A and B are shown apart, each in its own frame.
Chain A
Amino acid sequence: MVIPEDRQLNIVVAVKLVPDTNADKRIDPQTRRLVRSAAETVLNPFDEYAIEAGLQLKEQLADGSSVTIVTMAPESGKEVVRKALAMGADRAVMLSDPAFAGSDVWATAYVLAAGIRRIGFDLVLTGTQSTDAITGELPGALAEYLGVPGLTYAREIHVAAGRVRVKRETDTGYQTLSAPLPALASITKSAAEPRFASLKGIMAAKKKEIAVLRLADLEIAQAVGGDGAKLEVTELTASPARAAGKTVTAADGNAGARTIVAFLKERNLL
């Protein structure tokens, strides 16, 4: 499929609803899953960077291209999704069905891909990870299920002439990658800071559509949700308590600094 250069783009941003990062969290020892009701739900903070990137692309293109938010979440998360609309996204689609509950990364990517195909897309944007599960696997899996190139860890993204180009962060530097649309890119936290949802945006969001798609609305050929999960958490252990720190006592600041520098050098930390 070749996207004509002058066609408006359907930018789809996949987001996750997660427990408030600041709230106390609890794990159910029986199910070994996070107790979701115990914490308040927010947009995954990483995903706000993807929303911002999508909105900026839309503003730069200024040709009627649109940003659609998609999330797999219970309908009770509607008001959280509305925040993305208040930031400026055009519409949202929630993939909500009891059958989706308990999905692992694989099933989530599979269901999201079905939803995104149903919506129609030219460019899919995601965050790099979620603050709850922190697997960082979803963007790759989603690109795979959509059958499009996955350009991960983008700190800059441009779209022109039917292609997407990103500056990709690696441990040692940057890569510039380019791929034809349709494609997927995951956006890092070093991309543009997410905007605030303005008061006008909040008012406008009241009138924007949040559509709900159920299992039956999607082309899904495999078991999803808890039944279809391929990944099982078999055991949970708390990380060991940190050992007590080392206190350096010295005659004066200079001597103290020297001791600390020597300590760090010994461990190749300097």
Chain B
Amino acid sequence: MPDDYVTATFMPSGAKTEALMGANLIKAALEAGIEVDAVCGGKGACGKCRAKIIKGAVSETTASEAEHLTTEELKNGYVLLCQRKALGDVVIETQPERARLDNHAPAKGKLMDAALEVAPPVAKTYHQLARPAINDQVADLDRVLSRLPGEKRADVKLVTRLPALLREAGYCVTSVVLEDELLSLEKGNTVSEMYGIAFDVGTTSVAGYLADLAGGKVLASLASANRQRAHGADVVSRITYTMEDDNGLAELQRLIAQTIDEIVSGLLSRSGVPAERVYTLTFIGNTVMSHLLLGVSPVGVASAPFVPAFSRSLQGTAADLGLKSLPAYTRFVLLPNVAGYVGSDTVGVILATRIYDLPGTWLAVDIGTNGEIVLASGGRLLTCSTAAGPAFEGASISQGMRAEPGAIYQVRMENDVELAVIGGTKPVGICGSGLIDAVSEIARIGLVKSSGRIKDPRDLPPGFPASLMRRIKQDGNSYKFVLAEGEREVAITQSDINKLQLGKGAVRAGIEILLNELNLQPSDLDGILLAGAFGSNLRPASLKGIGMLPEVSLDRVKSVGNAAGTGAILALLSKRQLETVLALPERIEHVELSLHGGFQRAFARGLSFKVENHVKQ
């Protein structure tokens, strides 16, 4: 290596990369294939890209590091990767590969029944062709095409393989036909080997479901972090990256293709399915992810008037997406989006839950950084999107973390605090579900005013359990509530509550506005469906407890798992379902909240915590 190159080694995996002298460490980590939590996209604002320098020279501490790391930590070699440059060979320790705990299992039971009529758009047929003879000089291609119903086209690439293939196969071949195209020809009878993969492309993680199209069942599923995360946690920072870096758009497209390739390889090796037998893919995702998947600039979505480049369903080949793990002939369908912030993932939820033709009045809520809400009643189908913010996922919360070992994920309070920690270890932070539980409990036992302000311990009624009261501590001008005491304290601060409040208030406002559009009351709801890898893992009681969901009895709130993913699977397995989903956007009425006159009032109301005093006062 010439002098101006350095080697960066990342522990514990030992992954290495050669980087230019002075290269940014977060870029080096990315090159080495290390997953980094660059929530703010490397701006030094989130403090989530921390790592430890084991050996080697790096650039000076920056002001943003001073904000996010203690002097002690800095002394011990902790850095924010995005803030440092490599000034020689370096060895860096990053967080261990995390266990993904999001629930990516597709919704089971009822939802999947919809796909019972398994009839994929792909057809495979076995042909025993007549061998050519001097009195049968029909060309190879015509010999095949003449056996297929209707007019079919064949790709040049297929034709180049044809002469050898037919002769080797002794003219016994299986054709693979999608609509009017002969996708592939295979030696022998392979009719029963027909596979497809459905993808749910999320901003945070991507899930793939490998399905046996002939048998109509999912054989394997796999989720993986979206590699684009190195360029920010939310869609806005990803769009910003495409604007600030000339290669940004191409890079994000490459990263999502890489993520998909990794998932495909994992699925294939697990199931033993050969790549050549995968014919169709379906994709769902939010509007921005849909754009980035195709390498189309989503810049219009970033700011008002929030106009996407496309919203209709688009189709193409694996090669168009730059996928290396699948044959070029594999076809994909990207399901339709509705608006800048209501994507095909929401359309997938509508399809999977069949909310579009359930009798009665139903609400589906998909909670993530963005909360998408669907209301179905009397044949009408309304959607809106509210900016919930990353608070629900633990980002932007003072001790927030993703659902990884060490995260508090459940909180109960009776006479004292009871915590459940992922991995059963000592708590080091709190993830979204833990935060929502905690705040719901804090509100329930009356530790906050309805405005969200943590009470001065002196204002608590006499007889309030001392074990709880003791946990309220002064924190600057306000108070914090300590969940885990001791050396590594984990607490909920006033500002954490406020951030959660803004997010839940926005979702609640969205719900109320949709109900109001149809002159409905919460009591008219037959049920609320909680969708999403994230949202469906939250306790309905806690969501109600923080006032995000309206007053409905808890037995009407159902978690439906990753319904968006199920939607993608349905569209993969059944042509009818695909047709249904393609026609859904015409029926959907999108309610834009940005300019909605009722938003402010609904939001102000939605912010409050209705405090019920269960603890004796």
- Asked if A and B bind, the verdict is no
